[in-house]
Amino acid sequence: MIERDRTWGGELEMSILSKQYQCAFVIHANGRPNIAVDSCEHIANKQVFHLAYHLGEHYNCVVTLDQLGNVDEQPSAPNVSSQYETPQSSWWYWIMTILSLIGPYLYMNYYK
């Protein structure tokens, strides 16, 4: 885990996360071909996380409208206990999962 200030993570760290958590990442960057990071190609039904790469230094999770569901019906800040009771198909679980996977590895200087 990267814990020092002024450290960062990129595709190498995502490949480690892919192997550790048996998942894959697809990185979308404007004007570039998509990059697949998959250290577990032998696993057929793994979870795939889509990330948008911005400004040469920042990753954001990407969800489809189907994954997001009806925004008007979603809580803006669910309490912690309901977060763990939410099914894996919900948008909140998906977002929290991706953030928990890559958050510690993509520490940015301005998140102090």
Torsion of CA 65, 27, 89, 47, to 10 degrees: 150
pLDDT confidence of residue 51:
86
Judge whether 1 lies within some domain.
Answer: no
Please name the helix (run of DSSP H) or strand (run of DSSP E) that holds residue 24, with its range, or none: strand 23-29
Strands 47-54 and 23-29, how do they pair?
A: parallel
Q: Residue 112 and residue 92: Cα distance in Å, rounded?
A: 24
Q: Give 56's Cβ-side CA count (13 Å radius).
A: 0
Judge whether 94 lies within some domain.
Answer: yes
Q: How many domains does the chain have?
A: 1
Contact 6, 17 (CB under 8 A): no
pLDDT confidence of residue 93:
60
- Domain boundaries, position 49: 11-105
**What type of residue sits at position 81?**
S
pTM of the model: 0.53
Judge whether 6 lies within some domain.
Answer: no
User: What's the Cα-to-Cα distance from 2 to each of 6, 27, 43, 83, rounded to whole Å?
Assistant: 10, 21, 27, 25
pLDDT, mean of each 10-residue run, the chain (112 residues):
62 84 86 85 84 78 70 49 48 60 51 44
